[in-house]
Copies of this chain bind each other. A is one copy, B any other.
Amino acid sequence: MGLNEIPKGYEALTVETLPTRLASLADVKARVGPDPESWSVREVGDGNLNLVFIVTGPAGQLVVKQALPYVRLVGDSWPLPLKRAFFEYHALTRQAARDPGMVPQIYHFDETQALIVMEYLSPHIILRGKLIKGERVQGLGPALGKFCARTAFRGSDLSMDAGQKKADTALFAGNVELCDITEQLVFTDSYYDAERNHHTPELQPAVDRLRADPAVKAAAQMMLMRFTSGGETLMHGDLHTGSVMCTDSDTKVIDPEFAFYGPFGFDLGMLISNYLMAYFSQPAHRPPDGLDAYQDWLLSVIEETSGAFIEEFKHLWATQRAGIIYPRSLWEDQGQSSDGARDGLLTHIWNDAMGFCGVELHRRILTLAHNADFETIEDTAARAKLEARSLDLGRSLLLRRPPDSAALVAMARAANAEDLL
């Protein structure tokens, strides 16, 4: 079966057909209730790509996520292979093993129907919405920093058997079309007048300045090469604040259909970038009273996420380093410290993360898929002013990497005070 073919028997679910079609699944009946007639079904997919149903019955609730053979955001003029459900399933099982409890539990996977039946997270809501509303999540930074460190470390040659990692690399190399979306939208479209781009009209002068800078584009394309050719570990691939669901004190990660073998720092950089866009957008969402405090909290989340990543990575380095790279035979077994080697690797990871952060700060404002953080600001002049700060920080990060999260936060504060239009 080619990646773009629709498998025989595939049929998109509807609210009406779902109960009948899933009635035979013991796992579903056990969790929702034995009588499909007693189930209620809501379609809640507000993302760009898939159908998402919440099924409620007398015994409980669950989520059914089904891929569509095209990009939902754009329509059937942009086909997208159903096989992405296969990659999401495989990524979820690996993430569940590497950071237990951080992703929804899977109850059933049907490759032909491209559907995953999984845990209903409640009362979790999408993190991006909480940040726009000015809500805080206890433990957010530590949870996501650890998640990034654990999945990165445990999917890499620091931990896996080398043959197994190569086999996994080959498996995820099939996720061509979703990687293609990232390759175009995240790394390239920002920097020229791509057909599917759109941006706030008042931002034009800043867009022109950005596209006139060959060095920024060279740095962005070096990050694209890192994305296509830096298969250090299995990344979530789309870890923005819309792929995180939280209560006031619990954090989960969803939607890894963009999973790919890539650089250690990819998820961390994308996540930090989305925190930063939440930060820059706040002046349009908060009254002046409380704005500073909430922005400070968002910056503290960046520092906590980075700190937790580094701390957990160091812990795993010290206790679970069993792969072929950086083996203990070269340092510990010779009575030497490997701290320098570890810190050199962490610098490499952080530099990558900052580069990815930079391109993400651009693409969410300039290409096809914008963030609600900015997009919900109706006053376009006000929006452009805030977006310009994001563009400017992205440019700075691509040209010069801050050495640590404290330096990054200082750069963000400086950008937040700028008036660039």
Contact = CB atoms under 8 A, between A and B. Distances in A.
A214 B334 CA distance: 10
| Count of identical protomers in the assembly | 2
Nearest to A217: B330
B215 A340 contact: yes
Contacts of A194: 329
B163 A176 contact: yes
B192 A333 contact: yes
A152 to B, nearest CB: 12
A340 B167 contact: no
Nearest to A260: B166
Nearest to A188: B327
Nearest to A328: B192
Nearest to A180: B162
Nearest to A176: B163
Contacts of A338: 214, 218
B176 A173 contact: no
A326 interface: yes
A167 B163 contact: no
A214 B331 contact: yes
A325 B191 contact: no
Contacts of A59: none
* Contact-residue size bin, chain A (C-beta under 8 Å from the other chain): 35 or more
Contact of A348 (B179, B188, B222, B334): B222
Interface stretch (A18-26, A229-237, A278-286): A229-237
- The secondary structure that dominates the A interface is helix
A394 to B, nearest CB: 15
A375 interface: no
A161 to B, nearest CB: 10
22 contacts: A157-B225, A162-B228, A165-B228, A166-B176, A169-B169, A169-B170, A173-B173, A183-B324, A192-B329, A214-B341, A217-B330, A218-B340, A218-B341, A221-B325, A224-B324, A224-B325, A224-B326, A228-B325, A229-B230, A229-B231, A230-B230, A230-B231
Interface of A: 156-157, 162-163, 165-167, 169-171, 173-174, 176, 179-180, 183-184, 188, 191-192, 194, 211-212, 214-215, 217-219, 221-222, 224-225, 228-233, 261, 324-327, 329-331, 333-334, 336-338, 340-341, 344-345, 348
Given A170-B174, A222-B345, A229-B232, 19 more contacts: A156-B229, A162-B183, A163-B180, A165-B228, A169-B173, A188-B324, A188-B327, A191-B330, A192-B334, A211-B334, A214-B337, A214-B341, A217-B330, A217-B341, A218-B344, A225-B345, A228-B324, A229-B233, A230-B230
Q: Which 3 residue pairs are nearest across A and B when measured between Cβ atoms?
A: A218-B341, A170-B170, A170-B173
